[in-house]
Amino acid sequence: MNTPLSTFIRDIEFLTLENYPGRVARCHFSLADYRDDCFHEIGIIIPEHLVHAVPKRRAEYLAGRCLAQRLLAPLGFTDFILLPGEDRAPQWPPGIAGALSHNAHIALCAVHGEPGQGGVGLDVETLMSSVSVQELWSNIVGVEECDRLRCQPQAFNLLLTLTFSAKESLFKALYPQVRRYFDFLDACIMAIDEQNGHLN
Protein backbone atom coordinates (compact mmCIF):
# COMPACT_ATOMS: atom_id res chain seq x y z
CA MET A 1 0.00 0.00 0.00
CA ASN A 2 1.35 3.40 -0.94
CA THR A 3 1.57 6.07 1.73
CA PRO A 4 1.97 9.80 1.11
CA LEU A 5 5.68 9.48 1.93
CA SER A 6 6.32 6.51 -0.38
CA THR A 7 4.63 8.37 -3.22
CA PHE A 8 6.61 11.54 -2.52
CA ILE A 9 10.07 9.96 -1.99
CA ARG A 10 11.25 7.67 -4.79
CA ASP A 11 14.33 5.65 -5.66
CA ILE A 12 16.41 5.90 -2.49
CA GLU A 13 19.96 4.82 -3.36
CA PHE A 14 22.97 4.30 -1.10
CA LEU A 15 26.16 5.44 -2.79
CA THR A 16 29.87 4.84 -2.29
CA LEU A 17 32.20 7.78 -2.83
CA GLU A 18 35.92 7.29 -3.37
CA ASN A 19 37.96 7.98 -0.21
CA TYR A 20 34.89 8.96 1.81
CA PRO A 21 34.67 7.06 5.12
CA GLY A 22 30.94 7.54 5.62
CA ARG A 23 27.62 6.77 3.99
CA VAL A 24 25.81 8.69 1.26
CA ALA A 25 22.19 8.47 0.14
CA ARG A 26 20.34 9.99 -2.79
CA CYS A 27 16.64 10.07 -3.63
CA HIS A 28 14.29 11.55 -6.16
CA PHE A 29 11.22 13.30 -4.85
CA SER A 30 8.02 14.46 -6.50
CA LEU A 31 6.87 17.94 -5.60
CA ALA A 32 3.48 17.15 -7.14
CA ASP A 33 3.06 14.33 -4.58
CA TYR A 34 4.24 16.28 -1.53
CA ARG A 35 1.77 16.48 1.37
CA ASP A 36 2.36 17.95 4.81
CA ASP A 37 1.29 14.56 6.22
CA CYS A 38 4.63 13.19 5.03
CA PHE A 39 6.33 14.94 7.97
CA HIS A 40 4.24 12.93 10.42
CA GLU A 41 5.19 9.67 8.72
CA ILE A 42 8.83 10.12 9.69
CA GLY A 43 7.99 11.48 13.13
CA ILE A 44 8.96 15.13 12.80
CA ILE A 45 7.01 18.34 12.86
CA ILE A 46 7.30 21.12 10.32
CA PRO A 47 9.88 23.53 11.74
CA GLU A 48 8.68 26.99 12.66
CA HIS A 49 10.69 28.69 9.92
CA LEU A 50 8.89 26.55 7.30
CA VAL A 51 5.32 26.83 8.58
CA HIS A 52 4.51 29.60 6.10
CA ALA A 53 7.02 28.54 3.43
CA VAL A 54 5.90 27.43 0.00
CA PRO A 55 5.34 23.66 -0.41
CA LYS A 56 8.47 23.39 -2.58
CA ARG A 57 10.68 24.53 0.31
CA ARG A 58 8.98 22.14 2.78
CA ALA A 59 9.32 19.28 0.29
CA GLU A 60 13.07 19.87 -0.16
CA TYR A 61 13.59 20.05 3.59
CA LEU A 62 11.64 16.84 4.18
CA ALA A 63 13.46 14.87 1.48
CA GLY A 64 16.83 15.70 3.04
CA ARG A 65 15.65 14.82 6.56
CA CYS A 66 14.24 11.52 5.34
CA LEU A 67 17.65 10.56 3.96
CA ALA A 68 19.37 11.74 7.14
CA GLN A 69 17.14 9.42 9.20
CA ARG A 70 18.01 6.48 6.94
CA LEU A 71 21.75 7.12 7.31
CA LEU A 72 21.79 7.92 11.03
CA ALA A 73 19.73 4.93 12.20
CA PRO A 74 22.47 2.31 11.54
CA LEU A 75 24.88 4.54 13.48
CA GLY A 76 22.70 4.23 16.58
CA PHE A 77 20.62 7.40 16.18
CA THR A 78 17.28 5.75 15.49
CA ASP A 79 15.10 8.46 17.03
CA PHE A 80 17.25 11.46 16.21
CA ILE A 81 15.47 14.41 14.64
CA LEU A 82 17.79 16.59 12.57
CA LEU A 83 16.80 20.14 13.38
CA PRO A 84 18.26 23.43 12.16
CA GLY A 85 20.21 25.61 14.57
CA GLU A 86 19.89 29.35 14.98
CA ASP A 87 22.05 29.73 11.86
CA ARG A 88 19.72 27.29 10.01
CA ALA A 89 22.60 24.80 9.64
CA PRO A 90 21.65 21.18 10.43
CA GLN A 91 22.53 20.19 14.01
CA TRP A 92 24.04 16.71 13.64
CA PRO A 93 24.32 14.29 16.57
CA PRO A 94 27.46 14.46 18.74
CA GLY A 95 30.42 12.84 16.99
CA ILE A 96 28.75 12.90 13.57
CA ALA A 97 29.53 15.14 10.60
CA GLY A 98 27.00 15.44 7.82
CA ALA A 99 25.77 17.45 4.88
CA LEU A 100 22.53 17.83 2.94
CA SER A 101 21.74 19.16 -0.52
CA HIS A 102 18.84 19.24 -2.93
CA ASN A 103 17.71 20.69 -6.20
CA ALA A 104 14.24 20.62 -7.73
CA HIS A 105 13.87 16.81 -7.71
CA ILE A 106 16.94 15.24 -6.05
CA ALA A 107 18.12 15.19 -2.44
CA LEU A 108 21.52 14.05 -1.15
CA CYS A 109 22.80 13.33 2.34
CA ALA A 110 26.22 12.24 3.63
CA VAL A 111 27.20 11.31 7.20
CA HIS A 112 30.27 9.93 8.93
CA GLY A 113 31.80 9.59 12.37
CA GLU A 114 33.63 12.85 12.94
CA PRO A 115 36.71 12.13 15.12
CA GLY A 116 39.82 12.73 13.03
CA GLN A 117 37.86 12.85 9.77
CA GLY A 118 36.88 16.52 9.52
CA GLY A 119 33.69 17.74 7.90
CA VAL A 120 31.89 16.76 4.73
CA GLY A 121 30.32 18.86 2.02
CA LEU A 122 28.21 17.92 -0.96
CA ASP A 123 25.98 19.73 -3.38
CA VAL A 124 23.65 18.99 -6.26
CA GLU A 125 22.89 21.72 -8.79
CA THR A 126 20.87 22.24 -11.93
CA LEU A 127 23.05 23.25 -14.88
CA MET A 128 23.20 27.04 -15.18
CA SER A 129 21.78 28.62 -18.31
CA SER A 130 23.87 31.00 -20.38
CA VAL A 131 21.74 33.88 -19.07
CA SER A 132 22.42 32.87 -15.45
CA VAL A 133 26.12 32.55 -16.20
CA GLN A 134 26.32 36.13 -17.47
CA GLU A 135 24.44 37.42 -14.43
CA LEU A 136 26.24 35.37 -11.77
CA TRP A 137 29.80 34.54 -12.82
CA SER A 138 31.45 37.51 -11.06
CA ASN A 139 29.85 36.47 -7.75
CA ILE A 140 31.26 32.94 -8.08
CA VAL A 141 34.75 33.34 -9.56
CA GLY A 142 37.38 36.04 -9.78
CA VAL A 143 38.70 37.31 -13.10
CA GLU A 144 41.79 35.03 -13.16
CA GLU A 145 39.70 32.05 -12.13
CA CYS A 146 37.18 32.88 -14.85
CA ASP A 147 39.97 32.99 -17.44
CA ARG A 148 41.25 29.63 -16.19
CA LEU A 149 37.80 28.09 -16.64
CA ARG A 150 37.31 29.60 -20.08
CA CYS A 151 40.57 27.96 -21.24
CA GLN A 152 39.12 24.51 -20.58
CA PRO A 153 37.57 22.46 -23.39
CA GLN A 154 34.25 22.02 -21.54
CA ALA A 155 31.39 24.50 -21.85
CA PHE A 156 31.79 27.48 -19.53
CA ASN A 157 28.28 27.13 -18.06
CA LEU A 158 29.09 23.53 -17.08
CA LEU A 159 32.37 24.55 -15.45
CA LEU A 160 30.81 27.50 -13.64
CA THR A 161 28.04 25.27 -12.30
CA LEU A 162 30.67 22.76 -11.18
CA THR A 163 32.72 25.52 -9.54
CA PHE A 164 29.67 26.88 -7.72
CA SER A 165 28.86 23.38 -6.50
CA ALA A 166 32.44 22.71 -5.37
CA LYS A 167 32.58 25.96 -3.41
CA GLU A 168 29.18 25.31 -1.86
CA SER A 169 30.44 21.86 -0.80
CA LEU A 170 33.59 23.39 0.67
CA PHE A 171 31.51 25.84 2.67
CA LYS A 172 29.35 23.03 4.06
CA ALA A 173 32.43 21.03 5.06
CA LEU A 174 34.16 23.95 6.78
CA TYR A 175 31.28 25.87 8.35
CA PRO A 176 30.79 23.55 11.37
CA GLN A 177 34.43 24.17 12.31
CA VAL A 178 34.83 27.88 11.51
CA ARG A 179 31.25 28.96 12.34
CA ARG A 180 31.34 31.91 10.02
CA TYR A 181 30.11 32.58 6.53
CA PHE A 182 32.58 33.23 3.77
CA ASP A 183 32.27 34.34 0.19
CA PHE A 184 32.54 32.31 -3.01
CA LEU A 185 35.50 34.49 -3.91
CA ASP A 186 37.35 33.36 -0.77
CA ALA A 187 38.05 30.02 -2.48
CA CYS A 188 39.60 29.56 -5.91
CA ILE A 189 39.77 26.68 -8.40
CA MET A 190 43.46 26.33 -9.25
CA ALA A 191 43.39 23.26 -11.50
CA ILE A 192 40.92 20.82 -13.05
CA ASP A 193 41.85 17.15 -13.43
CA GLU A 194 39.18 16.01 -15.87
CA GLN A 195 40.53 12.48 -16.20
CA ASN A 196 40.21 11.75 -12.47
CA GLY A 197 37.31 14.09 -11.80
CA HIS A 198 39.24 16.20 -9.28
CA LEU A 199 39.47 19.91 -8.62
CA ASN A 200 42.28 21.70 -6.80
List residues forming the annotated binding site for CoA: 57, 65, 101-102, 123, 168, 172
Q: What is the DSSP string of the chain?
A: ---HHHHHEEEEEEE--TT--SEEEEEEE-GGG--THHHHHTT-PPPGGGTTS-HHHHHHHHHHHHHHHHHHGGGT-TT----B-TTS-B-PPTTEEEEEEE-SSEEEEEEEE-TTT--------PPPPHHHHHHHHHHHS-HHHHHHHHTSSS-HHHHHHHHHHHHHHHHHHHHHHH-S---GGGS----EETTTTEE-
- Residue 70 φ then ψ, to 5°: -60, -40
Annotated binding site for Mg(2+): 123, 125
124 close to 109: Cβ distance less than 8 angstroms: no
Q: Exposed, middle or buried: residue 69 (CB in 10 Å: 0-12, 13-18, 19+)? A: buried
Annotated binding site: 57, 65, 101-102, 123, 125, 168, 172
